[in-house]
Amino acid sequence: MRYSKILGTGGYLPEKILTNNDLEKIVDTTDEWIITRTGIHQRHIAAEDENAVTMADRAGRVALDVAGLKPTDIDMIIVSSTTPYMVFPSTACLLQERYGIAGCAAFDLNATACAGFMYGFSIADQFIRTGAINHALVIGSEVMSRVVDWDDRSTCVLFGDGAGAVVLGPSSEPGVLSTHLHADGTHKDVLYLPLGNNKTPNLESVKMMGNQLFKLAVNILGDLFDETLEKNNLQKSDVDWLIPHQANIRIIQAMAKKLEMSLDHVAITLDKQANTSSASIPLALDEAIRDGRVQRGQLLLMEGFGGGLAWGSALVRY
């Protein structure tokens, strides 16, 4: 059997930090409201000369280094971003040019929002599993600070900037056990980011029905966990780590409860990084691996959901 396996991870966070106290000076909010309702204490904000490409570059190089690979070993670059530097060339192509590896497949996923990393991870897994390629670099890179309405307290407090990267490669042992992708366009109005009809910048700001989205997320993710475990004939108790998308601590708590798992076994970066959209899962995974919590051989359940709605999971033997 041929599987794909996580060979390396990396992350990048911009230097500038915006705390909840800083936000109190921008919109009518309080540190206490934000912490109680979301679990977020602070977020990183990209500098003017940073963008999805520069951040992906930094995270990707770390992941390659950890994997012990050179850029020339990569056969496919997938970048998930709702905030790409350009519509085209893709962030992945711009990254490929920086890495000097012209010729390999490189593309962006931008329609799957916060679920984008799970979509990219799943695509890379299929290509490696079938033997079509050997190594894939999958990155989530987001400058959410450029697409939030800084006058809208119900959304601007939630997001942050950053990039996370994973290198996947072939293995005769598991590896990625299964991935699961779903979408439901009937919920298109719950979370969306419109184009600005050719105005500059050509994007408006994130619009969200927070309450509805919260309930949808809890139901959808609960079913997704059942589907993922059933597919592998595994029990909740087999899962060592939950690596969730970082949208709201209350959603994460509900997911841990669903898995009958203590929060000590959940990778949480939300408090320091807020919701970095498609970068949040690889950033959380990278931190938990880097500080030694996640160990080789452990079973990881990764999940993401976002605008579309789109959602996905992966069960991974790390």
> Is residue 38 near ligand COA by the rule CB under 6 A?
yes
Among 17, 29, 170, 180, binds ligand COA (CB under 6 A): 29
Q: How far apart are CA 165 and CA 253, in angstroms?
A: 25
Residue closest to ligand COA when measured from CB atoms: 210
> Is residue 109 near ligand COA by the rule CB under 6 A?
no
Q: How far apart are CA 27 and CA 299, in angstroms?
A: 42
Q: Which stretch binds ligand COA (CB under 6 A): 45-53, 100-108, 152-160, 264-272?
A: 152-160
Q: Which stretch binds ligand COA (CB under 6 A): 124-132, 205-213, 220-228, 283-291?
A: 205-213
Give the residues across from 169 on adjacent strands.
5
* Whole-number CA gyration radius for the chain: 18
Min CB(69)–ligand COA separation in Å: 31
**Maximum Cα interatomic distance, the chain, rounded to a whole number of Å:** 57
- CA atoms within a 13 Å half-sphere pointing along the CA-CB vector of 301: 28
Q: Which amino acid is at 307?
A: G
> Is residue 217 near ligand COA by the rule CB under 6 A?
yes
> Is residue 36 near ligand COA by the rule CB under 6 A?
no
100 backbone dihedrals φ, ψ, rounded to 5°: 65, 40
Closer residue to ligand COA (CB): 63 or 191: 191
- CA atoms within a 13 Å half-sphere pointing along the CA-CB vector of 311: 21
Among 35, 73, 111, 214, binds ligand COA (CB under 6 A): 214
> Is residue 275 near ligand COA by the rule CB under 6 A?
yes
Min CB(222)–ligand COA separation in Å: 15
- Which tokens go with 83? 């905030």
DSSP 8-state code for residue 36 = H
- Which tokens go with 299? 């079973």
Among 13, 52, 64, 247, binds ligand COA (CB under 6 A): 247
Torsion of CA 272, 276, 282, 285, to 10 degrees: 20
> Is residue 268 near ligand COA by the rule CB under 6 A?
no
Catalytic residues: 114, 245, 275
> Is residue 37 near ligand COA by the rule CB under 6 A?
yes
Q: How far apart are CA 107 and CA 124, in angstroms?
A: 11
> Is residue 261 near ligand COA by the rule CB under 6 A?
no
Interface ranges with ligand COA (CB under 6 A): 29, 33-34, 37-38, 114, 153-154, 157, 191, 208, 210-211, 213-214, 217, 247-248, 275, 306
